[in-house]
Amino acid sequence: MKRASIKDIARIAGVSVATVSYVLNKKEGSRISESTKDKILKIAEEIHYTPNKIARSLKMSNSKLIGLIVPDISNDFYSNIARCIENEAMKLGYTILIGSSDENADKFGKLTELFSGQQVDGMIVTPVTGSDDAVKRLLRDEYPVVSIDYYLKDIDLPAVTLNNFEISEQVFDYFIKHDVEELIYIGYKTDLPHLLDRQYGFERKISEMGLTSTKILVEMGEVSDEVHAELKKHFKITSRKTALYFLNNKIAIAGLHYLVKNKIRVPEDVSVIAFDGIDAYSLFPTEITYIRQPLEEMAVQAIKLLDGQIKNFSDEAEKAVCPAELVIRKSVK
Amino acid sequence: MKRASIKDIARIAGVSVATVSYVLNKKEGSRISESTKDKILKIAEEIHYTPNKIARSLKMSNSKLIGLIVPDISNDFYSNIARCIENEAMKLGYTILIGSSDENADKFGKLTELFSGQQVDGMIVTPVTGSDDAVKRLLRDEYPVVSIDYYLKDIDLPAVTLNNFEISEQVFDYFIKHDVEELIYIGYKTDLPHLLDRQYGFERKISEMGLTSTKILVEMGEVSDEVHAELKKHFKITSRKTALYFLNNKIAIAGLHYLVKNKIRVPEDVSVIAFDGIDAYSLFPTEITYIRQPLEEMAVQAIKLLDGQIKNFSDEAEKAVCPAELVIRKSVK
DNA sequence: CTGAAAGCGCTTACAG
DNA sequence: CTGAAAGCGCTTACAG
């Protein structure tokens, strides 16, 4: 894999590398004669020249690379958001490096080091529990970072978040409007602020209204078995109107699987609202009422904030709060 | 974002950059005194030195970057395989660049140029229809490339594929064993060899046995509406035992959605086998019998072939055929 | 045991 | 209109 360089072109054309560089970069300022320009371009074409961006990066100290760290790229939600970020990044000439942290602070730290070693111009990250130190290191070196979806309680970072608290309140209000008498919230045992916001938005309303409610919290990871076991324990079909609220797509899939497996009818036997609109919901017998996250907008904002930081680093941590939307379908009676 | 360099360490330690480089790279050969070694390491730590891989890449002419081009990273199948590839790549010290081609030869070509410009050490690609020229360009420059899932009919490339033809034959045999009288195959209008293999494996058996069969072919892209319309046209519940075979996860989701929406029972009214085992299937009222692709194995093989090509480029296009597995559940009666 | 020097492939201010 | 030269941050063969 030997590739042509600017030097090869210069040699063949009988000009200096500087001239070649000017021509290839189409600089307006430097006036090169049309004839040499043509000659250079033709030779470049002939010997299949492609610029070495590594060399360019070294000289220019920018790589046009962006690191994206998500919990798990195989998760539908993150692969969808990755796709949106890819689209937006390409528009600005950036290429995406991807890494999955598995919610593990160690892996997260390794990934930030790997990416900063690769000289990415900036990173879009979902900072997991315990990742404060890794993020601080980045900030200390004035590394452009923006968090997305996740955010950190104790570190002020440019961030793209959802209106988690408010959307949970809306879900609650919607249930109440439908005279739900008992609520089961199914979420994670976690310290992650964005997930706690979803929980708190709900809980505050519950305590205000004095409603019966159960909170099921499972360990992050392979949630399926635990969700099934907990639902079996806490959910019975009764004459009281009961509703389930699933914290995210992973829990929703586990929960809906439990319902369909046990032939529990939605919304006849129980009402349901789930976070995230994923294709999978379409295979469930009832159209699920869900919370849509505006992925495209989140991606646009993340790239905008990051690009801003790359071009002009600032300590002021700008925030973009994107509004989720409750998409009404047929799973609440 | 000013970062410490080897030069800074050298200056502070009062040694040459060569010495610093030797220490940092822990070369056994060159014996540096313990005292300077310690000094250098301590300073590196203190000033938060991280090696600049861009500079290293330029000198070493390798980047430890691998480009991954898939049709769409937001598709469940590809995000799952991307995750497996990420895992395997990391083990060998590679980082992954990701791009989505949207089945578009132009985008595919742009991505290969982008990635080769970024000096990736090699690429794992799904070569779409019309991408022959782009792939040839890569090969001409002796660029390490391996195809995965997709493959090209007219270009001999190291490739990781599925036993597409054979697994379709197995599906057919399984249907026959269950006395299915009518078959509906739902696939794409496409030239993609790996998808045609799935189709042909099926068709050969059909012509051998002289069975009634319908072939529904939809345009690639947003398949949902077309799949629904075609199923409506070609599928009626009758006394004959009918079976559906879905070419991939996207078509399966559209098809299963149609069934659940129209309250068509599986397997009472119709039998079903779908390609790819995705989480979404668990929300369908019946456990779907599906074809499992061995993603981990495919990823392992792809990285192995690619790493081999990177270390020692060869024109012999090695192949790895990974066996799919028919996972029997309850959607065939 | 350690350093001076060349070079990877570019860009760009400066000189002519 | 064009070129010589410095330099980005590394590695490594060579010399001492």
d(CA A127, CA A132): 8
Q: Answer yes or no: are the C-beta atoms of B106 and A98 closer than 8 Å.
A: no
**Distance, C-alpha B116 to centroid of its chain:** 19
Q: pLDDT tens digits, residue range A283-317?
A: 999 999 999 999 999 999 999 999 999 999 999 99
Q: Is the pLDDT of residue B224 over 90?
A: yes
Q: pLDDT tens digits, residue range A108-129?
A: 999 999 999 999 999 999 999 9
As a whole-number percent, the residues of chain A with pLDDT over 90 amount to 83
Average pLDDT over every residue of B122-141: 96
d(CA B78, CA B47): 41
Q: Which pLDDT score, from 0 to 100, does residue B1 have? A: 64
Eight-state DSSP code of residue B213: E
Measure in Å the smallest separation between the Cα of A25 and chain B Cα atoms.
Answer: 15
Q: Strand C and chain A: which residues 4-43 have CB closer than 7 Å?
A: 5-7, 17-18, 21-22, 24-25, 27
pLDDT band at B29 (very low <50, low <70, confident <90, very high): low
Instruction: Out of B99, B116, B144, name the one closest to residue A50 (CB).
Output: B116
Average pLDDT over every residue of B308-321: 94
As a whole-number percent, the residues of chain B with pLDDT over 70 amount to 98
Average pLDDT over every residue of A31-38: 82
Q: Which pLDDT score, from 0 to 100, does residue A28 have? A: 60
d(CA B293, CA A332): 37
B267 upstream amide cis, omega within 30 of 0: yes
Q: pLDDT tens digits, residue range A145-196?
A: 999 999 999 999 999 999 999 999 999 999 999 999 999 999 999 999 999 9
Average pLDDT over every residue of B256-278: 97
Q: Which pLDDT score, from 0 to 100, does residue B30 have? A: 60
Average pLDDT over every residue of B52-64: 93
Q: Which pLDDT score, from 0 to 100, does residue B211 have? A: 82
Closest nucleotide (C1' vs CA) to B16 is: C3
Q: Among the listed ranges A22-36, B246-260, B295-309, which one has the minimum average pLDDT value?
A: A22-36
- CA-closest candidate to residue A243, choices A206, A280, A279: A206
Closest nucleotide (C1' vs CA) to B7 is: D9
Eight-state DSSP code of residue B280: G
Q: pLDDT tens digits, residue range B11-24?
A: 999 998 989 998 88
Q: Answer yes or no: are the C-beta atoms of A68 and A98 closer than 8 Å.
A: yes
d(CA A187, CA A203): 12
Task: Give the list of residues 6+ apart from residue B189 with CB closer than 8 angstroms, or none.
Answer: B217, B218, B219, B220
Q: Is the pLDDT of residue A30 over 70?
A: no
Q: pLDDT tens digits, residue range A204-246?
A: 988 888 788 999 999 999 999 999 999 999 999 999 999 999 9
Q: Which pLDDT score, from 0 to 100, does residue B208 have? A: 86
pLDDT band at A1 (very low <50, low <70, confident <90, very high): low
- Mean pLDDT value across chain A: 94
Q: Which residues of A touch B1 (CB under 8 A)?
A: 141-144, 313
**Length of chain B in terms of residues written:** 333
- CA-closest candidate to residue B293, choices B274, B271, B312: B274
pLDDT band at B27 (very low <50, low <70, confident <90, very high): low
Instruction: Out of B74, B115, B142, name the one closest to residue A1 (CB).
Output: B142
3-state secondary structure of B319: strand
Q: Answer yes or no: are the C-beta atoms of A234 and A263 closer than 8 Å.
A: no
Average pLDDT over every residue of B185-207: 94
- CA-closest candidate to residue B122, choices B325, B317, B306: B306
Residues 275-314 of B with CB under 8 A from A: 278-285, 313
- Mean pLDDT value across chain B: 94
Q: Which two tokens stand for residue A151?
A: 């955010």
The gap between the terminal CA atoms of chain B, to the nearest Å, is 64
Average pLDDT over every residue of B54-82: 95
All structural domains of chain B, each given as residue ranges with its CATH number in brackets, are 6-51 (1.10.260.40), 61-162+295-323 (3.40.50.2300), 164-293 (3.40.50.2300)
Q: Answer yes or no: are the C-beta atoms of A323 and A301 closer than 8 Å.
A: no
d(CA A14, CA A145): 45
Positions of chain C reached by protein Cβ under 7 A: 1-5, 7-13
